[in-house]
Amino acid sequence: MKTFEDLVKEVQKPGLCHRCGGCVTFCSAVNYGALELDDNGRPRYKDVTRCIECGICHAICPEIDDLTDETRQNVDWKPPIGRILELTVARATDPQVHRQATDGGVVTGLILKLFDDNLIDGAIVTRPTGRFRREPHLALTRDEIINAAGFFFDTSHGMKNYSDQYLTYSTIEAFGAVIKKGVKRLVFVGTPCQIETVRRMQALCLVPSETIKYCFGLFCSGNFVFAEKQRKQLSAIGGFDWENVKKINIKEDLMIHLKDGKNIRIILDELEFMKRFACYFCRDYAAEMADISFGGVGAEDGWTSVIARTTIGKSILTDAKKSVLEACNYDNAASTAKKALKLVTKLSARKKKAASANRKALEAHAKNK
Ligand SMILES: Cc1cc2nc3c(=O)[nH]c(=O)nc-3n(C[C@H](O)[C@H](O)[C@H](O)COP(=O)(O)OP(=O)(O)OC[C@H]3O[C@@H](n4cnc5c(N)ncnc54)[C@H](O)[C@@H]3O)c2cc1C
Ligand code: SF4
Ligand code: SF4
């Protein structure tokens, strides 16, 4: 049986750990308490004597392929970018949600609808906690769900909506609160790597993954570090002042919306200096294992591209289109969806190709050492 030591050798040492926190979450949830996250979000032994060598931390790691086939089967995954039952470009009809959101506010709109219909008790999201900070959060009220909307920052809520260490492990950490509060029906919002970990936990029926009724995945071209040094370099590249920034989001490029109405686009290739190392090896752009995936790419500003992947995901979306969502009408809806799908497929293929090349280079480097 492989153990956490193997995870360190196979995943952490080569720099492939996404810091999704899955290994620590399971170990803590079942009260083994052998693992913890360090201050930088890296898993480590907290108390090696408490490790019973069950090997589960190793099996559920998204970098380990043992459960790939099973998890894919469970969501009826299809090449090249997962199952697609529908692609729609939409936005939330609630002006407050739309104003606060990253793109069209569809993620938040759908969570609120499920909450109002009493189909969930809450959602695992990340919430802004101060200037440049977000933290994992179990949102159990409408206000908490709305306050978690958004991606980076928006001056309407005071430049607090992004974190200097934009780590994906954040949402999974909120699992701890799920157990303490005894909630049973949740939406989990996360990046593709986080969704993958949750799916693996679900494949093994591990606590507390049974509480996740719906997985909402965000498209992801990478996790970028926005610490002071990186912010300085980015403002030099884009020729803008952070004090003048109103909102940021990632689509095909990084979009910086300034208070004076100007928009700056920076191609993602220019952000390599701030990309997290493990993200260079990631193959999933479009959250292929989610019930519904969301991104700004392929949609005009203020709209979200939405892919329903499972039958439950499609029924949530269909229901919401009759109430809390407005489907796009700025163009021919069918051709907008087609164009968005083409773009998502292209970006997914590009990410997979880059990941394979980077893995080969990493392996070659390890052999030559
Ligand atoms: C790291 C990252 C990279 C992304 N890269 C791309 C990209 O390359 N192309 C693209 O089209 N879209 C990308 N997205 C998705 C995009 O930014 C929007 O989240 C998506 O379009 C949904 O917008 P919305 O207005 O419908 O969501 P909203 O209604 O604003 O809701 C967003 C939800 O995401 C949650 N959230 C925010 N940050 C995180 C995080 N770090 N981890 C987990 N949950 C989080 C919030 O709590 C909220 O519930 C990325 C998102 C993240 C977090
Ligand atoms: S990728 Fe996730 S599960 Fe794997 S070692 Fe890192 S934190 Fe643990
Ligand atoms: S690119 Fe996105 S999904 Fe992939 S490891 Fe990085 S944060 Fe996770």
| pLDDT tens track for 211-236 | 999 999 999 998 887 778 888 999 99
What interhelical angle do 106-116 and 311-321 show, nearest 10? Answer: 90
Q: What pLDDT band is residue 132 in, cutting at 50, 70 and 90?
A: low
Evaluate: CB of 20 within 6 angstroms of ligand 2. Answer: yes
**Residue 314 placed within a domain:** yes
In this prediction, residues 80-93 reach a mean pLDDT of 97
pLDDT number for residue 163 = 34
Given a contact cutoff of 8 angstroms between Cβ atoms, the answer to whether 287 and 219 are in contact is yes
Q: Whose CA is nearest to atom 5 of ligand 3?
A: 279
What pLDDT is recorded for position 234?
94
pLDDT of residue 332: 81
Q: Which of 35, 61, 173 to mutate to test the pocket of ligand 2 (most atoms within 8 A of CB)?
A: 61
What is the domain count for the chain? 1
Nearest to 201 by CA among 191, 192, 210, 213: 210
Residue 21 within any structural domain of the chain: no
Residue 270 inside a domain? The answer is no
**DSSP H/E element including 263:** strand 263-267
User: In whole angstroms, what separates CA 266 from the centre of its chain?
Assistant: 21
Residue at 173 is within a domain: yes
One-letter amino acid at 272 equals E
pLDDT at 334 over 90: no
Residue list, ligand 3 pocket, CB within 6 Å: 18, 168, 191-193, 220, 222-223, 278-279, 282, 284
Q: What is the pTM of this model?
A: 0.93
Which residue among 102, 138, 157 has the greatest number of ligand 1 atoms within 8 angstroms of its CB, and so is best to mutate? 102
State mean pLDDT over 151-173: 40
Q: Does any domain span residue 189?
A: yes
Confidence of residue 32 (pLDDT cuts 50, 70, 90): confident
Q: Which of 131-135, 151-155, 275-279 has the highest mean pLDDT?
A: 275-279
CA of 3 to the centre of ligand 2 (A): 12
- Looking at residue 171, its pLDDT comes to 52
Q: Cα dihedral angle (137, 138, 144, 146), rounded to 10 degrees? A: 80
Q: Which atom of ligand 2 is nearest to the CA of 169?
A: 7
Which residue lies with its CA nearest to atom 6 of ligand 3?
Answer: 279
Q: How far is the CA of 45 from the centre of ligand 1 (A)?
A: 31
CA of 49 to the centre of ligand 3 (A): 32
pLDDT on residue 246? 84
Domain annotation covers residue 51: no
159 lies in some domain: yes
pLDDT at 152 over 60: no
pLDDT for residue 135: 75
> Which spans in 39-116 are helix H?
56-60, 68-74, 95-100, 106-116
Atom number of ligand 1 nearest to Cα 163 = 41
Q: What is the mean pLDDT of the chain?
A: 88
Q: Is the pLDDT assigned to residue 250 strictly greater than 70?
A: yes
Atom of ligand 1 nearest to the CA of 97: 29
The protein residue whose alpha carbon is closest to atom 1 in ligand 3 is 222
Residue 349 has pLDDT above 60, yes or no: yes
Q: Is residue 27 part of a domain?
A: no
Supply the DSSP symbol for 252. S
Q: Ligand 2: does its nearest atom lie under 6 Å from the Cβ of 19?
A: yes
Report the residue among 16, 63, 167 best suited for mutation to probe ligand 2: largest number of ligand atoms under 8 A from its CB: 63
Determine the Cα–Cα distance for residues 248 and 187; give it in Å rounded to an integer.
Answer: 25
pLDDT value of position 157: 29
The count of other CB atoms within 10 Å of the CB of residue 69 is: 11
Does residue 61's CB lie within 6 angstroms of at least one atom of ligand 2?
yes
34 alpha carbon – ligand 1 mean position (Å): 32
| CA nearest to 276, candidates 42, 61, 39 | 42
Pocket of ligand 1 (CB under 6 A): 101-108, 125-126, 148-151, 166, 168, 170-171, 189-191, 218-221, 223, 249-251, 294-297, 304
What value does the mean pLDDT take over residues 135-141? 86
Q: Which domain holds residue 189?
A: 87-223+276-368
Who wins on pLDDT, 312 or 159?
312
Distances in Å between the alpha carbon of 185 and those of 60, 85, 140, 188, 232?
22, 24, 11, 10, 42
> Could you tell me the pLDDT band of residue 284, with boundaries at 50, 70 and 90?
very high
317, pLDDT greater than 50 = yes
Instruction: Name the residue of 6, 17, 170, 279 whose CB sits within 8 Å of the most ligand 2 atoms, as the mutation to test its pocket.
Output: 17
Mean predicted confidence (pLDDT) in 20-29: 82
